[in-house]
Chains A and B, each alone.
Chain A
């Protein structure tokens, strides 16, 4: 009982800090609109959202994995493989010889997203097999996945491969610039691709699944105390395998966002540490989907701000802004602000009796 209360107090403290951060960002935005005009502010907000999406999905991947007791530092590799496979599917379906049915945008893009997510899920399965069947240290298994992804995608990389195009914005902005505030709101909330909208929906769905369904309760139970869950008749390994498939698929969606929606091209090592940032965001958000998404927005905002500092007339070197999210994560992890409260049994192998 006492632990439950303190855990709640801790979560609420993180929530408190997250909301204080959000309020500060909004106040800064209003001040900035006065200083630099709406165009720059909206550009920063949109860049923040672009930066936020893959990190959010990576963090959701981490939540599925870690809530069921398995540390996942392979998110980076899962994202990278998926980014590559999604892009290559798009490339293959874009070739002149491909059946025209598959070349229609919804089917081509749908298949590309699916194969990418599938590739991520396969990596999740590999992680599960290594961690559960072979009891390999979760961190070593994750490292294997990261190196393997870097090697495989670099090895099979085809420079100059082109496609028929990337995911277009789903909704056009019906307002013209003369509509003022409505136009700028449209610029922020409309004109986004499918994966961006899907990400926001997924965050809410995952929050509900984790905290309001039987599946979520069981997942959290095996992350906290697998022996107890086992005794109550929950199949711990089966839950872990399935959660890691979800984990891989979600990281995969984050990966294909890069190649199918944001950039439209594959580059070697293009995930560029986002998987690790996602891990940090997950901890930052105390293993909760909503707080993690808020943390991802903060990271996206810090990245977006780096490129725009001079517009705001601020003269601190942009690298220091780039450092901030990482420093914040360390501060949160060290317990100076709130307290990171990981699932109790995360990272330890579990042996069914």
Chain B
């Protein structure tokens, strides 16, 4: 950095560009290297990687429908990625995004079907109902995040284990709420089931709670408002972290809870608030699927989303705006994988292999730095102490 101030009279701009390039180098090279290794796997299995990756690109960006699919997949990934990244900033590893978004998708569905809003004016009704349904998703997720946060703050129970446990508890709870019933064994359906007798799903939500469609290309998919809400949320989270007192305290607790405590920050309060906000963001990710895609809660609508969120957050270096880019990449991979499998017969699971490799290279950035001879300091993978102990 020091030589740039000598060479040019606008050092900050040069430094900024260089800084961005430098911080983007490892993620970009990680993605490329992972794709290359993925290509090796494709060759070894006897397929053509070029055909496969062309299918992937076409499926994700090839036409308006493809791009729409990518953006639809991206919306919940931004919210859930933010849920993980935000918690990371506060020094917490939120593996529970999956459970939080499950709860959020069901609470938003419940407000969507059980709470008709009629204020005379259809537009006003829709705005109020949609807002309430989104709020329900937010609150459901926030509640599910709050419990591990409170346990961490007051008992020291490590959030990694408690959030994993709450993922299982959430899926059992939802299993009961949406149970389709087994008349043969005298088991009644769950309280939120629509009574179809077979599928564990809620009734359809009312059209007033739909996320409005903003773009409808030919084909079965239509772009809903969610992706724009997601980008706005990312900006708000970025501002919250960098421009507010709470954000400052959050980062301080994340970097060194002991120092934060001695400087008079209420670490317990910050810990709980961090998990509440993270859970709320994950809950909104669930609401995207319910209110924008399925128009009800259906089983497996968010399978694995909460775990993709971890990879997205880490790939983004826990930067909220980076989360938008990483979610776009993962949304595209997800959206294109079906077309890839269709065109090249390569099983879509190769995408998971590539994603795991991306995560590995981003975390163990020394490998990438070694291969491409990039200088620089430790990666995000080394930031977190991961013991089970008290903070």
Enumerate chain A interface residues (CB-CB to B < 8 A). 71, 73, 130, 134-141, 143-148, 150-157, 268, 273, 276-277, 279-280, 283, 310, 317, 319-320, 322-323, 326-327, 329-330, 333-336, 340, 342, 344-349
Contact = CB atoms under 8 A, between A and B. Distances in A.
Interface stretch (B54-62, B216-224, B276-284, B345-353): B345-353
A144 B352 CA distance: 10
Contacts of B10: none
Contacts of B363: 130, 134, 136-137, 140-141, 144
Contacts of B270: none
B382 A135 contact: yes
B388 A342 contact: yes
Given A319-B175, A330-B165, A155 B350 contact: yes
Chain B, interface SS category: helix
A147 B367 CA distance: 19
Interface in B334-391: 347, 349-357, 359-360, 363-364, 366-367, 378, 381-389
Chain A, interface SS category: helix
Contacts of A151: 349-356
Contacts of A317: 176, 179, 187, 190
A152 B357 CA distance: 11
Contacts of B382: 135-137, 349
Interface residues of B, number: 56
Given A71-B387, A147-B352, 8 more contacts: A71-B388, A73-B164, A139-B160, A143-B307, A155-B353, A276-B164, A283-B161, A317-B187
B267 to A, nearest CB: 17
Given A139-B93, A140-B314, A342-B388, A330 B353 contact: no
A346 B390 CA distance: 12
Contacts of B364: 130, 134, 136, 141
Interface string B53-85: 000000000000000000000000000000000
A342 B387 contact: yes
B168 interface: yes
A340 B363 CA distance: 29
A38 to B, nearest CB: 22
A341 to B, nearest CB: 9
A137 B168 CA distance: 24
Interface stretch (B149-157, B228-236, B237-245, B246-254): B149-157
A139 B357 CA distance: 15
A155 B155 contact: no
A152 B353 CA distance: 6
Given A279-B164, A333-B157, A349-B382, A148 B387 contact: no
A327 B307 contact: no
A333 B381 CA distance: 26
A147 B383 CA distance: 21
A152 to B, nearest CB: 6
6 contacts: A144-B356, A277-B168, A280-B164, A310-B187, A330-B151, A336-B155
A123 to B, nearest CB: 12
Contact of B387 (A73, A144, A348): A348
Given A137-B382, A156-B45, A148 B165 contact: no
A66 to B, nearest CB: 8
Nearest to A147: B356
B387 A347 contact: yes
Contact of B389 (A146, A154, A322, A342): A342
B310 interface: yes
Most buried by B among A130, A151, A152, A283: A151
B264 interface: no
Given A150-B352, A283-B161, A320-B172, A347 B386 contact: yes
Interface in B118-158: 151, 155-158
A268 B347 CA distance: 12
Contact of B151 (A138, A140, A334): A334
A146 B356 CA distance: 8
Contacts of B176: 317, 319-320
A154 B388 contact: no
B33 interface: no
B315 to A, nearest CB: 11
A273 B170 CA distance: 14
A150 B307 CA distance: 12
B231 to A, nearest CB: 26
